[in-house]
Structure 1
Amino acid sequence: MPALPKILVTGANGQLGTEIHELSAAYPAYEWIFCTREQMPLDDEKTCIDFLAATQPQFVVNCAAYTAVDKAELPEEKDSLFAINATTVKAIAAFCKDNNTRFIHISTDYVFAGTGSVPYKETDPTDPVNIYGASKLAGEQYITAVNSDAVIIRTAWVYSRYGKNFVKTMLRLMLEKTAISVVNDQIGTPTYAADLAQAIITIINTAEWHPGIYHFSNEGIISWFNFAVAIKELSNSNCTVNAIPTTSFPTPAKRPAYSVLDKTKIKTTFGIHINDWRESLAVCLQKMQNN
């Protein structure tokens, strides 16, 4: 019996990696390998490449990243940040190219300046406003330079019932406090990690491989304040949610004011249906409740 094609997923314990793990049972035509930080530490290039060489997967899905956006601004974090988000990613992309392995890499809306007012297309100029965004852009540029066959997916505002994210933070604060304040002048669209996980598997399952950069988030355009109000309503919380400007909530790292992504390319290329953000939020909250 021929061996099943292997799909290796990095960042297995993260939000996206965990959601892919959940979906993987429905795809027994593949052998799934879920790598934690211990097996594939992206700040240790040699260990990562040795692991890939030993495993010889047909697909690599890189969900691992340094995502502590504010901590990334610290000068002492720069080496680790760029190793994880850029230089080791380059080495993995090169390995995949040399070994005829399909490579899917997850990037971010933070590669854009956020000064626009219409959804960003994949071809729009990049200009990150913080060091995290700069490290992710460097990763994209490295991949493009060494592996023209790779798929890069930029996403935004990721949440799920796993890991740390805005939805879980809001639910906790709404239990602890009678009122909270959330910024209303940062505009984007949330991404339910389970929806992105399904999109990645759809891409892997598509008969023809279409390399390039793609955008994925849920549908709709909202502020973090709108997102928090929806979480309050769907969870039947009595907490008051107040709108504040970004200037009232300073953070070490600057955030893009507008980071809505245009998803036309991924929808037309792979025939992917994308849910409205509110619909997916309701699904996620229901799953949290059931747990």
Structure 2
Amino acid sequence: MTGVLVLAGTPIGDVSDAPPRLLTELATADVIAAEDTRRLRRLTQALGVTPAGRVVSYFEGNEVGRTPELVEALLGGARVLLVTDAGMPSVSDPGYRLVAAAVDADVKVTAVPGPSAVLTALALSGLPVDRFTFEGFLPRKTGDRARQLASIAAEPRTMVFFEAPHRIAEALAAMAEAFGADRPAAVCRELTKTYEEVKRGPLGDLATWAAEGVRGEITVVVAGAPPAAPQELTPAELARLVAVREEAGERRKEAIAAVAAELALPKREVFDAVVAAKNEAKSEAKSEAAKGAGTGP
């Protein structure tokens, strides 16, 4: 029988947030693949756990070469526990390659849920949480970062970013330029730790604040783009939109309702535009007829 790959979430700050299952997995796994073995040692000591299995490193620099070794262990029946320095493996941390390889090898993959900087910051931000998108770390180069931010400037969902303390001021300034200085946001740093802080405000103000220097692990939450203002169309343009739908097979009543819903307008306004266009067409037709009669023999 093949083994099991276990992705385990680790505390993002306060060690006491570690779930009970994490302690069990640390104590019983055949192999523990850790992003930083020294941090793992500190974590197990703080939790009072002694790993029984083999501990190996698994980080950005060696994951390509180490993945086949871990898959071989899984195929041999080992229970492999993957942990990163904080949070859930694969989420802006090593893990994706191993998960993909395990899936390809038809190995079972499961997880031990744990603390999440993304969800914690989102909940604390005070911004809408019904729909959101995780953008991870922004590119380091100025041009690449500007292009990526420009590509999501119209994103309507709340956005969550990770950022390094020495780049946060530049990142916030770039966001203010791309999204607008008045876009609401929150900078969450040192979550669940002694000096936890959540700074809320417009991006422009946050960029000015960060210019003085910010320390710690940082998660940024930015409000999505506000809905676009209703498109202002002339009665003739509204009537043309209805006509296009009618030509496609919709009944006039349905076409009017659809156009009104699409443009967030009252159905009566669209109906009046159609009637006005129809009356104007009749009037023009009569005028042309009268001109034709006047040029006869």
TM-score (normalised: structure 2): 0.31
Structure number with the bigger relative contact order (C-alpha 8 A, sep ≥ 6) is 1
TM-score (normalised: structure 1): 0.32
Larger radius of gyration: 2
